[in-house]
Amino acid sequence: MIPWLIFALILVPLLVVAFVAARRRTVAGEHPTNETAEDRAEMEREFAEAEAYQAEHRAEDRARYDEERF
């Protein structure tokens, strides 16, 4: 009975505290506080460029696949 009590009263709260701390660190890393509107616009532009490149690559890959298939 004593080991279960130790487990419930010590280990579980420690795991919860560790999880909350890790979660806060992750959220803080994903959303920097000193990010400006220009930084966000730059990031959006880079994502748009990456999406366009990926779409172009998919089209080329599809064309190459179709040529190889026939």
d(CA 54, CA 48): 10
Beta strand segments in the chain, E: none
> How far is Cα of residue 15 from the mean position of the Cα atoms in its chain?
22
Mark whether 52 and 27 lie in a shared domain: no
In this prediction, residue 6 carries a pLDDT of: 82
Given a cut of 90, is residue 49 above it in pLDDT? Answer: yes
Rounded to 5°, angle at Cα 31 from 25 and 50: 120
How many structural domains does the chain have?
Answer: 2
Name the pLDDT band for 70 (thresholds 50, 70, 90).
Answer: low
- The average pLDDT across 31-57 equals 89
Q: How far apart are the first and last CA of the chain?
A: 71
Name the pLDDT band for 53 (thresholds 50, 70, 90).
Answer: very high
Domain that holds residue 45: 34-70
Mark whether 70 and 53 lie in a shared domain: yes
Local structure of 34: helix, strand or coil:
coil
Share the mean pLDDT of the chain: 87
Mark whether 12 and 23 lie in a shared domain: yes
pTM of the model: 0.47
- Where does the chain have alpha helices with state H? 2-6, 12-30, 37-69
